[in-house]
Amino acid sequence: MILDQFKLDGQVAVVTGASRGLGLSVATALAQAGADIVSVQRSGNTAAIEDAVREAGRKILCLSLDVAEITAAQRVLDATLAHFGHVDILVNNAGITKRTPSADFALADFDALINTNLRSLFLFCQVFGREMLRQGHGKIINMGSLLSYQGGFTVPAYAASKHAVSGLTKSLCNEWASKGINVNCIAPGYMATDMNVALMNDPVRSRQIGERIPAGRWGAADDVGGLAVFLASSASSFIHGQTIAVDGGWMAR
């Protein structure tokens, strides 16, 4: 039956940046679909995701660490296997942004952003990919952005990192699609999360953005959960290397 293909019962999902925002929503949706969750974030503020996963009747392991550290991916894989014994789904969601005119953009900020949004994402794909290749199956979902397609304004490092995330998704797809691993990318539009507080508090920019979205509203964190479950499930088994926008129609304008 078709709805059975969306079930994630007995599966283990690692979600980076699951403590709040889109990651919290994605991890909650995966848990409600049946997956146990490994939640990765720097802070110890994990009450929301712990409550949501337990409410869904699933198990959770919280790991507080910085994904930009070079050993982070291996530490997360080792802890996941020690705790749950296997891993089926990886969601590379943790990300940061920095808004500064390009002429003034500090190299240290550029490096920090690329390390968090891109280098760490590659390392997580590589380390978890090796385990998924060994077991012969796995689902990897990378968090891109509308800036996987567009340049944005005063966000040079963020746009570069998110274009690269989409390109890396295609590159890994070409190597791993025949080996039982689906690698895809979600490109959220303008979503009401902590990352966009400054934009939302700017009445002019907030109104301009809202007026350009065909759906007539900003996205909510919960708007990405359905696509994440789909891409994590066997219902999407023939979908590889895609970057799929969840943007209220923004890219159609």
**List 11, 93, 236, 243, residue binding ligand NAP (CB under 6 A):** 93
Residues in the chain: 253
Round to whole Å and give the CA distance between 152 and 144: 13
Rule CB under 6 A: is residue 143 a binding residue for ligand NAP?
Answer: yes
246: helix, coil or strand? strand
Rule CB under 6 A: is residue 19 a binding residue for ligand NAP?
Answer: yes
Q: Is 141 left (phi over 0), alpha (psi -120 to 50) or beta?
A: beta
Q: Spell out, one character per residue from 39 to 58, where the chain touches ligand NAP: x when CB under 6 A holds, - when not.
A: -xxxx---------------
Task: Render 12-74 in DSSP notation, one character per residue.
Answer: EEEEET-SSHHHHHHHHHHHHTT-EEEEEESSS--HHHHHHHHHTT--EEEEE--TTSTTHHH
Which residues partner with 143 through β-bridges? 186
Q: How many helices (H) and strands (E) does the chain have?
A: 9, 7
Q: How far is the CB of 217 from ligand NAP (least distance, A)?
A: 13
Residue with token string 């990405």:
224
Q: Spell out, one character per residue from 213 to 252, where the chain touches ligand NAP: x when CB under 6 A holds, - when not.
A: ----------------------------------------
Beta carbon nearer to ligand NAP, 65 or 177: 65
Helix, strand and coil in the chain, % to nearest 5: 55, 15, 30
**List 14, 68, 91, 125, residue binding ligand NAP (CB under 6 A):** 68
**List 16, 166, 169, 243, residue binding ligand NAP (CB under 6 A):** 16
* Active site (catalytic) residues: 158
Which residues partner with 16 through β-bridges? 40
245: helix, coil or strand? strand
Beta carbon nearer to ligand NAP, 67 or 181: 67
**List 48, 79, 133, 195, residue binding ligand NAP (CB under 6 A):** 195
Q: How far is CA 147 from CA 64, 84, 155, 199, in A?
A: 28, 35, 9, 15
Q: How far is the CB of 3 from ligand NAP (least distance, A)?
A: 27
Rule CB under 6 A: is residue 94 a binding residue for ligand NAP?
Answer: yes
Rule CB under 6 A: is residue 194 a binding residue for ligand NAP?
Answer: yes
Stretch that binds ligand NAP, among 30-38, 54-62, 122-130, 184-192 (CB under 6 A): 184-192
Rule CB under 6 A: is residue 31 a binding residue for ligand NAP?
Answer: no
Residues of this chain that interact with ligand NAP (CB under 6 A) are 16-17, 19-23, 40-43, 66-68, 93-96, 116, 143, 145, 188, 190-191, 193-196
